[in-house]
């Protein structure tokens, strides 16, 4: 792995199981290892893969659907894992504002976006620390419907 030639992709199960762990130190160590080994490469939701397999089998047996939809199996980030691939992108910036922002940041806008996305990915994987969990009203990752809430579309642009 240190050669950068492989990774172990994350799935929705990794995110959900890690979120359930109430021990901050354990979650941090696990998130650190998962981030290193996966580089935030994630697998498509199982439901999308099953839908594709079902469509392919129906096509094989019945000829319908005529053109089964192909599902991308691997992507980047928690959004992809939960079926809503979104990344933070700065938009609406004039060229003049872009140059000023890059000067202040000491990096390009695309480097800033990549850094912000990587930081977000890590903190979503790690989950909120206990001090924040107690401050989030009704925070309970195991409540009914939590996975629907997590995977509901969020505007990233």
Q: Which two tokens stand for residue 150?
A: 């997590």
In this predicted model, what pLDDT tens digit does every residue of 1-59 receive, in sequence order?
456 578 999 999 999 999 889 899 999 999 999 999 999 999 999 999 999 999 999 99
The per-residue pLDDT for range 108-134, each reduced to its tens digit, is: 999 999 999 999 999 999 999 988 888
Token pair belonging to 135: 């401050």
CA distances from 144 to 84, 100, 147, 149 (A): 20, 46, 8, 10
Nearest to 10 by CA among 106, 104, 124: 124
Does residue 147 have a pLDDT over 70? no
Residue 84 confidence (pLDDT) above 80: yes
- Find tokens 């359930």 and name the residue: 20
Q: How many CB atoms lie within 10 A of CB 74?
A: 12
CA dihedral of 74, 75, 81, 84, whole degrees rounded to 10: -130
pTM of the model: 0.77
């Amino acid at each position: 792995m240190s050669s950068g030639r492989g990774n172990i992709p994350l799935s929705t199960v990794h995110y959900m199981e890690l979120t359930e762990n109430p021990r901050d130190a354990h979650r941090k160590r696990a998130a650190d290892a998962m981030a290193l080994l996966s580089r935030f490469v994630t697998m498509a939701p199982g439901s999308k893969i099953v839908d594709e397999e079902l469509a392919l089998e129906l096509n094989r047996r019945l000829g319908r659907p005529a053109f089964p939809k192909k599902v991308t199996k691997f992507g980047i980030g928690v959004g992809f894992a939960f079926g809503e691939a979104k990344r933070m992108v700065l938009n609406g910036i004039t060229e003049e504002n872009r140059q000023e922002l890059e000067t202040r940041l000491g990096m390009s806008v695309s480097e800033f976006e990549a850094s912000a996305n990587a930081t977000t990915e890590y903190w979503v994987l790690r989950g909120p620390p206990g001090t924040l969990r107690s401050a989030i009203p009704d925070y309970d990752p195991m409540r009914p419907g939590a996975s629907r809430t997590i995977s509901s579309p969020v505007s990233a642009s």
